Amino acid sequence: MCGIVGALANRPVAPLMMEALRRLEYRGYDSAGLATLTEGHMAIRRAPGKLSALSDLLEREPLSGASGIGHTRWATHGPPTLKNAHPHRAGRVAVVHNGIIENFAALRAELIANGRVFTSDTDTEAVAHLIDLALETGRTAEQAMAETMPRLRGAFALVILIEGEEDLLLAARRASPLAIGLGEGEAFIGSDAMALAPLTRRIIYLEDGDWAVVRRAGASLFDETGQPVERAMSISTVSGALIGKGNYRHFMEKEIFDQPDAIAHTLHAVIDPGTGASTLPPPMEQADQVSKITIVAAGTSYYASLVARYWFESLAGIGCEVEVASEFRDRDVVLPEGGVVIAVSQSGESLDTLMAMRRGRAAGQRILGLVNVPESTIARESDGVLLTRAGPEFGVAATKTFTAQLTAFLGLAIALGRAREHLAEARALELIAALSALPARVAEAVSDQQAFAPVTHMLARARDVLYLGRGLSYPMALEGALKLKEITYIHAEGYAAGEMKHGPIALIDEAVPVIGLAPSGPWFEKTVSNLAEARARGGRMVLITDAEGAGRLAVDGDHVLVLPTVDPMLTPILQAVHVQLLAYLTAVEKGTDADQPRNLAKSVTVE
């Protein structure tokens, strides 16, 4: 959350930093700003709202200079107004910041008592004052940083520009990601390698607690104790090309349509569809020695993990717990010897998931990262990586990365089931054949949008919506409700269909659409009974089912969305497409911004 950049170049940096911020806008879009130095003097431009507002401002009031810092904000402390937009300046010092300075209130009080005047509500401004104060008392920039860093608590990344210092940026990382890019006589800093991709591929990732003094000729790094350290330079594989949305209205729509490719590419990571052979990633190569799987994740990645639990238990015979990362990280977890924690994260940067993964490691577990970004922090800290190959996802709502996660999980469960001799080979080959044919089924599911119009018309006018499902469809009810909430702002909840009678049924009346996820298969009969209970209370039924289920379940007045028929184990992947389309088309009907919905950011690097 919050994208930060810094540049020491031999050319004007404002356009370079704007391009980098465009690549980071997925991290937040409440306000944006740049600061540059020209002949030693600092100038700042800031604008509330999306990056386009800053771009307009720069047209009217351009910024020159070959040194600078930039920011796109996801608000934590203080509303998304001009005065709270970064960079924040105190005296000679300007700061851009991602994350939270937890002890900012105490620092602020101390600085105010020292005569410092604050102009924003942010936690960031305290850092600018601390560095400026240290410079005022004669410290060098490096000394100021060495003194300031131990005073800051929290998880954050910082880039600092000092007036009069044209060949200097200071940078720091504690938990929140930060990378330094080295060019030819130029140096850059960014929240991720994607921001730096058009500028350089030579990347140094700061480790937790590191801070750096960056000059055009290179960077000096220090660890959290202030000792000089060396960190390896890697060559990034991230493409410098900026992906557009083509003829689609939104990235989200494009990414829904990208799913057949995302699934096909991901499948190849664990299964060879040609031969049917499956491979196990480290640390799971010795499948019979894996005593338990614990999955930690947030949001949509958490719902993918709930589906995976069914697969691991049923296909591989392995005990599996799925944990909300932000809760798991602060518990005194007791985990068995030989256990594996799977950290699931599209971005590979969600701070909650990263911290939960570290908690798992501290509890003696080996770590498998399931991520879509190969150079992310979770990937770099894992013992092994299972990569979803969905390509970059720009819509805030996870779509293609979700179905790619499901595909990777199912492939892994099949591979584990085989290796543990829990899954009969004939059934494994049947599932692999079904998975190989899945991209074509998903293409069918996305192509049939006509049927959605009456449903989205109804949903766009609803105040509350319920999603119900059983078994493998239960996590999909949760995911469907999350998608609708995120991009349409309609209140929606997902429930286990059998749990409804224990309370939530009280919510149902003629005004409440009820989305029933009821494919034919193991949970069909019981789901039918639960949906009948909802129908009897006047709920307006929308059934997401297959042709057989529709024939047995639908009554006059129901809306029915029919999915292609697949092996019951694979139904969540198809249901995902329908719940995504329901949310997306409802957002289009309501006119909300599906790609950049209010209050959200794609990569959540605060706690």
Does 299 bind ligand M6R (CB under 6 A)? Our answer is yes
Q: How far is the CB of 412 from ligand M6R (least distance, A)?
A: 17
Closest CB 212 distance from ligand M6R, rounded Å: 26
Q: How far is the CB of 26 from ligand M6R (least distance, A)?
A: 10
The count of residues interacting with ligand M6R (CB under 6 A) is 16
Look at residue 575 and give its three-state secondary structure: helix
**Which parts of 571-600 interact with ligand M6R (CB under 6 A)?**
600
The stretch among 29-37, 262-270, 390-398, 463-471 that binds ligand M6R (CB under 6 A) is 390-398
d(CA 360, CA 367): 8
346 binds ligand M6R (CB under 6 A): yes
User: Which range binds ligand M6R by CB under 6 A, 26-34, 340-348, 355-363, 431-439?
Assistant: 340-348
Transcribe 84-100 into DSSP letters: TSSPEEETTEEEEEEEE
Q: What is the dihedral sign for C-alpha 150, 154, 159, 162?
A: negative
Q: What is the DSSP annotation of 502-527?
A: GTGGGG-STT-EEEEE--SSTTHHHH
Name the one range near ligand M6R by CB under 6 A: 106-114, 195-203, 218-226, 344-352.
Answer: 344-352
| Position 210 contacts ligand M6R (CB under 6 A) | no
CA-to-CA separations, 337 to 293, 309, 366, in angstroms, rounded: 11, 20, 10
Q: Does 486 bind ligand M6R (CB under 6 A)?
A: yes
Residue with Cβ nearer ligand M6R (526 or 590):
590
Q: Which stretch binds ligand M6R (CB under 6 A): 282-290, 297-305, 492-500, 577-585?
A: 297-305
Q: Which secondary-structure segment (H or E) carries 182?
A: strand 179-182
Interaction of residue 397 with ligand M6R, rule CB under 6 A: yes
- Pairing outcome for strands 366-371 and 340-345: parallel
Annotated catalytic residue 320: no
Closest CA to 309 of 431, 433, 412: 412
Q: Which two tokens stand for residue 122?
A: 């942010």
Cα gap 230→233, rounded to integer Å: 9
What is the smallest separation between the CB atom of 583 and ligand M6R, expressed in angstroms?
9
Helix axes of 51-60 and 14-24: crossing angle, nearest 10 degrees: 170
Residues in 417-456 at the binding interface with ligand M6R, rule: CB under 6 A? none
Distance (Å, whole) CA 429 – CA 273:
10
Q: Is 396 in the site for ligand M6R (CB under 6 A)?
A: yes
Please report whether residue 398 would count as binding ligand M6R according to CB under 6 A.
yes
List Cα–Cα distances, 360 to 189, 231, 330, 331, 348, in angstroms: 30, 25, 11, 10, 16
Contact between residue 500 and residue 468 where contact means Cβ atoms under 8 Å apart: yes
Which one of 2, 254, 400, 483 is the catalytic residue?
Answer: 2
Distance in Å, CB of 432 to ligand M6R, minimum: 26
Q: How far apart are CA 21 and CA 17, in angstroms?
A: 6
2 is catalytic: yes
Considering only residues 36, 124, 200, 347, which one is a binding residue for ligand M6R as defined by CB under 6 A? Answer: 347
Contact pattern from residue 6 through residue 45 relative to ligand M6R, giving x for each residue in contact according to CB under 6 A and a dash for the rest = ----------------------------------------
Contact assessment for residue 371 and residue 238, using Cβ atoms and an 8 Å cutoff? no
Structure tokens at 132: 């400026």
Q: Does 353 bind ligand M6R (CB under 6 A)?
A: yes
Residue numbers 301-320 binding ligand M6R by CB under 6 A: 301
Residue from 120, 350, 365, 580 binding ligand M6R (CB under 6 A): 350
Catalytic residue positions? 2, 602
Binding residues (CB under 6 A) for ligand M6R: these are 298-301, 345-347, 350, 353, 396-398, 486, 600, 603-604
